[in-house]
Amino acid sequence: MKFFIDSVDIQAIKKFTLSGMVDGVTTNPSIIAKSGKDFKEVIREICEIVPGPVSAEVTATEAKLMVEEGLILSKIAKNVTIKVPLTWDGLEACKTLSDKNIMVNVTLCFSAQQALLAAKAGATFISPFIGRLDDLGEDGMDLIKDIRAIYDNYPSLKTEILAASIRSADHVRRAAVIGADISTLPPSVLDELAQHQLTDKGLKAFLDDWEKTGQKIL
């Protein structure tokens, strides 16, 4: 499974890139707004750090304008992925941009049939929102299962499943077991993946025993 960081925190992106854990980055207007930074400059800076796909979302809602915005954003760097909403206008924009060999991430997916439409429109990535479905009392992982089954039924569909709205390490585990191609997660959840109380306990025991030997490696 590939990991995308859902953040514009440059320091966090650099930190996890050093450990080989960053395959891409996703952003959205809400994340950019909270950062208080210039949108295009943030995308440009991230693209210089991460060689993988970096999602930049359009803000237009009409297909023609989405395409115009997408073309502008795609010129920031070769690894920019244009993010569009799963609406009919978004699907039209997806088709137009993908026909120009521009990567497209179709976001705000909440049903398997929506994911099928995105794949047929040529989406590079489909972003089903797990956490938001959980918030409604549904199991967001059921959506990942259905999309995986549909895409596997039709090998000609090349769209990758990008599990989004990840809230916990368990979300990542379950998405990986089902076969999602990618999880996009905030730095806090990525950090959580390496944590286990038995790891901490075991490491402390090893270090305590080593200290008793009085030896040093360096």
At 143, which CATH number? 3.20.20.70
- What confidence score (pLDDT) does residue 99 get? 98
Q: Which residues pair with 104 in a beta bridge?
A: 82
> In terms of residue numbers, what domain contains 59?
2-213
Write out residues in the chain with pLDDT < 70, as ranges.
none
Marked catalytic residue, from 83, 158, 201, 212: 83
- What confidence score (pLDDT) does residue 29 get? 85
Q: Map residue 9 onto helix, strand or coil.
A: coil
Read off the pTM. 0.93
Query: CA angle at residue 164 from 160 to 166, to 5 degrees?
Result: 135
Note whether residue 145 is domain-resident: yes
Total domains present in the chain: 1
- What confidence score (pLDDT) does residue 34 get? 85
Note whether residue 218 is domain-resident: no
What Å distances lie between residue 187 and 14, 15, 45, 166, 211, CA to CA?
A: 11, 10, 17, 11, 33
- What confidence score (pLDDT) does residue 51 get? 94
Residues 9 and 187: beta-carbon distance below 8 Å:
yes
DSSP annotation of 164: B
Note whether residue 63 is domain-resident: yes
- Count the Cβ atoms, other than its own, within 10 Å of residue 168: 16
- Residue 83 known to be catalytic: yes
Quote the distance between the C-alpha of residue 175 and its chain's center.
12
- What confidence score (pLDDT) does residue 36 get? 86
Q: State how far the Cα of 177 lies from the Cα of 157, in Å rounded to an integer.
A: 21
- What confidence score (pLDDT) does residue 30 get? 86
Q: State how far the Cα of 117 lies from the Cα of 88, in Å rounded to an integer.
A: 9
